[in-house]
Amino acid sequence: MPGHTVQFDTLAEPLMVSAGELVVEAASRAGLEIQQPCGGQGRCGRCAVRIESGRVRRRSTLRLSQADVDAGYALACQTVLEGDVSIIVPPPERIQRRLTTDHVAPDAVVPEGYDPGQAQTVRRVLLNLSPPSMDDQTDDWGRLGAALRRVAGVDRLDASLEQIRQLGPVLRSSDWEIALTFDAGREKDGTAHLIRAQTAVDAEDEPLCGLAIDIGTTTVTVWLIDLVTGQVMHQASEYNQQITRGEDVISRIIYGSKGTGGDELRGLVLESINGLVETACRRSGVDHEEIVKATISGNSTMMHLLLGIPPESIRLEPFIAPINHLPLLRAGDVGIAMNADGVVDPLPGVASYVGADITAGVLAAGLRATPDTTLFIDVGTNGEIVLGSSEWLVTCACSAGPAFEGAGIQSGMRADKGAIEEVWIDGNTFEPTCRVIGNAPPRGICGSGLISLVAEMFLTGILDKGGHIDETLDTPRVRRSPRGAEFVVTWAGETEIGEDIVITRVDIDNLLRAKAAIYAGFNVLADGVGVELESVERVLIGGSFGKYINVEKAIDIGLLPDLPWERFEYLGNTSVRGAYLALLDRESRAEIAGIASSMTYIELSADNTFYEAFTSAMFLPHTDLSRFPTVAAATTNGG
């Protein structure tokens, strides 16, 4: 059989190859090392190259989407050269980004068709009042109201006593030309709320800003928004300082229920928010007084703690939140570092464990935009799941435990510098290759690393479908310790901490419980509305943790349903994006309220099909392998 040539873009000369040779073999002969963390089993996708021209045969495209294949991508370890071929070898970081962020939606794009003059929640209007006279004896407030009606179509305006006190002097010092900033209120033709009355001169060129705030259990995110253009001026995130008082919502509630714990937690989250606001203001040259509105998203516990509302009942059966639909609040009462007369709009939740982060997330994800059956998930300490379409919505919350946050795991840690976030295991040698956040020596394993690790251990046969470690394997990494069987991911000498980084049988059980809870949630929702999970047309992943989940690995362990890659979309922080939309646009705000009201909440602990679904999901990937055909294929293929 005649030879062919292959031209790698990184090499000067073409290379002769024999027919049937793999791309990795040819490259290796030419001294070109292509990474194969999974040991050439076509599972990790890190050896992806782009075939510019020529004929090849792809034995497996497991890690590639159809779009990838259409664009010419092929796995170097699984692709046979069948003619004269020209190949581009992308730099490793490009592959990495392509695999993990291809489908990440842009975070902060001004909504299409956004018209700054319309549907805004906050407006500033210039009013040129005719001065009073002996013939026109209307009082100041009535004069203002009449002008506002004429200029802005606002029939009713309310104001605090303090604002009323300041009005007369402002009107007179402005020579009856004032700039009035008001919140249009949630309801169309409802009452507007005065935020600020300034002389027109003072208001000139002054920014009109808002905040979209997402309070996560772990991370607080603040966007500073120009309310006139809709542009995001600054984005910032930092840990929720409450973390020092408990890592999950339950421990926060317990802490907040004792003595002054509630006040303390309120103070801590305000410190986090106000620190971010401070930074955003400094970077953008904005004064706090110029921030006149904030929308707040977050889970129900975070919302209650921020507002100082006792959250105890959220934790105790029957798990009832004091309030899901909060009124508009005065910023000064809430304590956010902005104009004290500004308006804080806490977005509505559905239930104690399906909060504003989900209703805002559903809006931001556009779940209701099409009649397609869509699954929306936000996985963190709890996994909140929404199944629905433009016509209907059901939701539930799965108590996943902290495993996905890296907590309760022998070598677990948060997704921080030094965390192992992805693992590939060579199917022959059982040697792992790790990607570590910050490219540093590893300190532990974060949630996504754990998913990746368990998936690889299962695919390479280190774990059986029950999650048991095969202690007969010929590798020193599998060993028995006083706490049972374990697998060494990184030897002490290669770590930052000077200890072996391991995964134990207990860790695996924790992860199985977490993923089983989520998957059982999918089942209960789908069964509840009579939809087959396989028929779900889109899977939208929100939340900050979702960003790090490798979809394929999550399918491998049975966390996500086994659907084609193309149906998955990672949307980033949908919670803050929903808050952003609600900040700009009154119709979006109304839609979030509509979502919160129309969603059917299913309390899993009261659902008698949940336990069975959970038990069936406590396997890798599931007791019913027919639900995971691609995983079944991969285990056969890669064995």
From 587, 583, 589, select the one nearest 293 (Cα to Cα): 583
169 touches its own copies (CB under 8 A): yes
Q: Which residues contact 310 (CB under 8 A, 6 or more apart)?
A: 256, 257, 262, 304, 322
605 touches its own copies (CB under 8 A): yes
Q: What is the DSSP letter of 230?
A: -
Quick one: CA dihedral 38, 43, 45, 51, positive or negative?
A: positive
313 touches its own copies (CB under 8 A): yes
172 touches its own copies (CB under 8 A): yes
- 333/471 with CB nearer its own copies: 333
CA 319 to chain centre: 25
- 116/132 with CB nearer its own copies: 132
Three-state secondary structure along 550-588? CHHHHHHCCCCCCCCHHHEEEEECHHHHHHHHHHHCHHH
Q: Which stretch binds its own copies (CB under 8 A): 47-55, 222-230, 301-309, 614-622?
A: 301-309
Minimum separation from the CB atom of position 301 to its own copies (A): 13
369 touches its own copies (CB under 8 A): no
451 touches its own copies (CB under 8 A): no
Pick the binder of its own copies from 159, 419, 437, 518 (CB under 8 A).
159
520, 525, 531, 533: CA torsion to nearest 10: -30
Pick the binder of its own copies from 2, 112, 153, 161 (CB under 8 A).
161
Pick the binder of its own copies from 47, 215, 225, 351 (CB under 8 A).
351
- 46/266 with CB nearer its own copies: 266
28 touches its own copies (CB under 8 A): no
Tokens linked to 194: 């005065």
| Helix or strand run (H / E) with residue 637 | helix 629-638
Pick the binder of its own copies from 264, 271, 603, 630 (CB under 8 A).
603
Pick the binder of its own copies from 57, 94, 165, 282 (CB under 8 A).
165
3-state secondary structure of 80: strand
Q: Which residues contact 285 (CB under 8 A, 6 or more apart)?
A: none
3-state secondary structure of 444: strand
CA 273 to chain centre: 18
Site map for its own copies, 260-299, x if CB under 8 A? ----------------------------------------
Instruction: Work out whether strand 374-379 and strand 538-542 pair parallel, antiparallel, or are unpaired.
Output: parallel
Where does 79-203 have alpha helices with state H?
A: 92-101, 140-152, 161-173, 200-203
- 144/488 with CB nearer its own copies: 144
326 touches its own copies (CB under 8 A): yes
Terminal C-alpha separation, the chain:
30
- 157/291 with CB nearer its own copies: 157
146 touches its own copies (CB under 8 A): no
Pick the binder of its own copies from 106, 259, 327, 493 (CB under 8 A).
327
d(CA 377, CA 449): 19
> How many chain residues touch its own copies (CB under 8 A)?
48
| 380 touches 399 (CB < 8 A) | no
Site map for its own copies, 544-583, x if CB under 8 A? ----------------------------------------
Minimum separation from the CB atom of position 451 to its own copies (A): 31
- 262/572 with CB nearer its own copies: 262
- 300/411 with CB nearer its own copies: 300
- 489/525 with CB nearer its own copies: 525
| 344 touches 294 (CB < 8 A) | yes
69 touches its own copies (CB under 8 A): no
What is the secondary structure of 304-344 as a DSSP string? HHHHT---HHHHSTTT--S-SSPPPEEHHHHT-SS-TTSEE
Pick the binder of its own copies from 33, 70, 112, 135 (CB under 8 A).
135
Pick the binder of its own copies from 160, 199, 279, 616 (CB under 8 A).
160
Minimum separation from the CB atom of position 582 to its own copies (A): 19
474 touches its own copies (CB under 8 A): no
Q: Which residues contact 603 (CB under 8 A, 6 or more apart)?
A: 318, 319, 351, 396
CA of 102: how far to CAs of 222, 267, 300, 572, in Å? 24, 39, 31, 12
3-state secondary structure of 348: coil
601 touches its own copies (CB under 8 A): yes
- 239/601 with CB nearer its own copies: 601
CA of 222: how far to CAs of 210, 212, 337, 429, in Å? 10, 6, 12, 46
Pick the binder of its own copies from 80, 88, 164, 340 (CB under 8 A).
164
* Residues 90 to 109 in contact with its own copies, rule: CB under 8 A: none
- 141/239 with CB nearer its own copies: 141
Minimum separation from the CB atom of position 486 to its own copies (A): 39
112 touches its own copies (CB under 8 A): no
134 touches its own copies (CB under 8 A): yes
189 touches its own copies (CB under 8 A): no
- 303/453 with CB nearer its own copies: 303
d(CA 193, CA 148): 12
Interface residues with its own copies (CB under 8 A) are 132-142, 158-162, 164-165, 167-169, 172, 307-310, 312-313, 317-327, 329, 333-334, 351-352, 601, 603, 605-606
